[in-house]
Chain A
Amino acid sequence: VYDTLKGQNFELITVAQDMLGEKATAQWHDRAKLTYTTLIDVHHRVSSLYNLVNVPAGVWVNEQGQIRRINHGTFSPAYPNTAYNGAGYAAALTDWVKNSDRSPFIWSADEVRAHIRRRTDDQALSVPTFKLGLYFFGKGDETLARQYWEQAQKLDPDNWSFHRQDWNLTEGLAGPKFNEKRKGIGNEPYYEPLGLPAARPPN
């Protein structure tokens, strides 16, 4: 989709959220021939700034820097891993790039506000606590890093990124732990629905 949109005053920025940086993401980046902007985010900076608690997430930003849509960690239930490559999302994106604020797929400021996650005091505190762990991890003190990450997870149990980054460090732990926690929430949606209108209105 990007290839057809890039000539239309549009840019795709992908942000690889991984404290191991290029080391962890190179194989994924190399696999695709990338013509868009690919950034490395070792501090989970974009997630902290946009109050995101899972990946992938997609944010639409218009020419004036206003958010027009914000989807947290959404996969299509039918096609895991491909929601943002899926036909529905691509069509919506194409429509927005073409029709700007006339697109039915953009959200009003109120809708965007409603989708920005508000942090409680504990949830707010989880962010600098997680970063304290990152700092000690960078200093080579993984034990201390883990203590702060666990503290961050207690402060904001719904922040999946904290858990998944932590588990990822231990070989073989990410899969089982993920499934365990995933099961723990039962029928609660793990990702938010994309919330796209069911059908495109006629032009």
Chain B
Amino acid sequence: VAAALTPAAARAQAATVLYDDRVISVERTLADPNDLWIPPADLQRVNGFVLGPRGACLKDDCTPVPQGDSKLRVTRGGQTWFNVTELARQIGQVFVADYDRGVWSFGEVPAARQDFVQGVMAPDFELPNREGKPVKLSDFRGKKVLIITWASW
């Protein structure tokens, strides 16, 4: 109990997740030097996965989650935790962490990218225009679109 009260351990309790260009705060995590364990209720907010009878699913892509304690899920003192980093390893999603500051940055979910790399569908995105109004690529479905990226540098 004393160890859990040290500043380092206290800092490790909250985490920040960067995914899909969003910043997601997680209030409580299970202390672990290598992995990010979050309350299952936070999973969808963090990476879009939904827990159900078929496991952790992103749309129809499901990763089975065994009953009882496993690499993906443990129960400690009545609280259940889900291992987001282990899920990432199993689905080939890369991530990098700044452990000292509790910031975890996740890459793309490969299965969610097949429509693009195999199906050559244009990934949708939403970005603000100069007035700050959000505009989606899919707002222009039914038109031909030329997207030009540029930079002032």
List chain A positions with a Cβ less than 8 A from chain B: 9-18, 22, 24-29, 37-41, 43, 45-52, 55-67, 84, 93, 96-97, 100, 109, 112-113, 116, 118, 121, 124-125, 127-129, 131-132, 135-136, 144, 148, 161, 164-165, 167-168, 174
Q: How many B residues touch the partner, as a band?
A: 35 or more
Given known pairs A29-B130, A45-B127, A125-B94, the reply for A12 and B18 (CB within 8 Å) is no
List the A side residues contacting B128 at CB < 8 Å. Answer: 39-40
Q: Which among B95, B129, B137 has the greatest number of chain A C-beta atoms within 10 A?
A: B137
List the B side residues contacting A148 at CB < 8 Å. Answer: 96, 98
| Residues B7-54 near A (CB distance < 8 A) | 16, 18, 21, 23
Question: In whole angstroms, how far apart are the Cα atoms of A66 and B145 in the complex?
Answer: 10
A39–B143 touching, CB < 8 Å:
no
Given known pairs A10-B145, A16-B152, the reply for A37 and B107 (CB within 8 Å) is no
B98–A128 touching, CB < 8 Å:
no
List the A side residues contacting B67 at CB < 8 Å. Answer: none
Question: In whole angstroms, how far apart are the Cα atoms of A25 and B128 in the complex?
Answer: 13
Question: In whole angstroms, how far apart are the Cα atoms of A143 and B101 in the complex?
Answer: 14
Question: In whole angstroms, how far apart are the Cα atoms of A63 and B121 in the complex?
Answer: 11
- Looking at the assembled complex, report how far the CB atom of A50 sits from the nearest CB atom of chain B, in whole angstroms: 7
B150–A59 touching, CB < 8 Å:
no
B153–A59 touching, CB < 8 Å:
no
Partner of B137, one of A38, A51, A56, A61: A61
A62–B149 touching, CB < 8 Å:
no
Question: In whole angstroms, how far apart are the Cα atoms of A56 and B147 in the complex?
Answer: 10
B3 at the interface (CB under 8 A from A): no
B105 at the interface (CB under 8 A from A): yes
A67–B122 touching, CB < 8 Å:
yes
A50–B148 touching, CB < 8 Å:
no
List the B side residues contacting A168 at CB < 8 Å. Answer: 152-153
B150–A56 touching, CB < 8 Å:
yes
A132–B96 touching, CB < 8 Å:
yes
Given known pairs A45-B21, A109-B120, the reply for A65 and B152 (CB within 8 Å) is no
Question: In whole angstroms, how far apart are the Cα atoms of A62 and B103 in the complex?
Answer: 38
List the B side residues contacting A28 at CB < 8 Å. Answer: 152
Partner of B121, one of A22, A67, A97, A125: A67
List the A side residues contacting B144 at CB < 8 Å. Answer: 9-11, 60-63, 96-97, 100
List the B side residues contacting A136 at CB < 8 Å. Answer: 98, 103
List the A side residues contacting B149 at CB < 8 Å. Answer: 14-15, 17, 41, 46-47, 52, 55-57
- Looking at the assembled complex, report how far the CB atom of B46 sits from the nearest CB atom of chain A, in whole angstroms: 14
- Looking at the assembled complex, report how far the CB atom of B136 sits from the nearest CB atom of chain A, in whole angstroms: 10
A sample of 8 inter-chain contacts (CB < 8 A) reads A15-B148, A16-B150, A46-B125, A63-B141, A124-B107, A164-B151, A165-B151, A174-B153
| Residues B45-88 near A (CB distance < 8 A) | none
B153–A129 touching, CB < 8 Å:
no
- Looking at the assembled complex, report how far the CB atom of B78 sits from the nearest CB atom of chain A, in whole angstroms: 33
- Looking at the assembled complex, report how far the CB atom of A80 sits from the nearest CB atom of chain B, in whole angstroms: 13
Question: In whole angstroms, how far apart are the Cα atoms of A136 and B127 in the complex?
Answer: 21
- Looking at the assembled complex, report how far the CB atom of A114 sits from the nearest CB atom of chain B, in whole angstroms: 10
Residue of B nearest to A121 (CB): B94
Given known pairs A67-B121, A167-B153, the reply for A40 and B148 (CB within 8 Å) is no
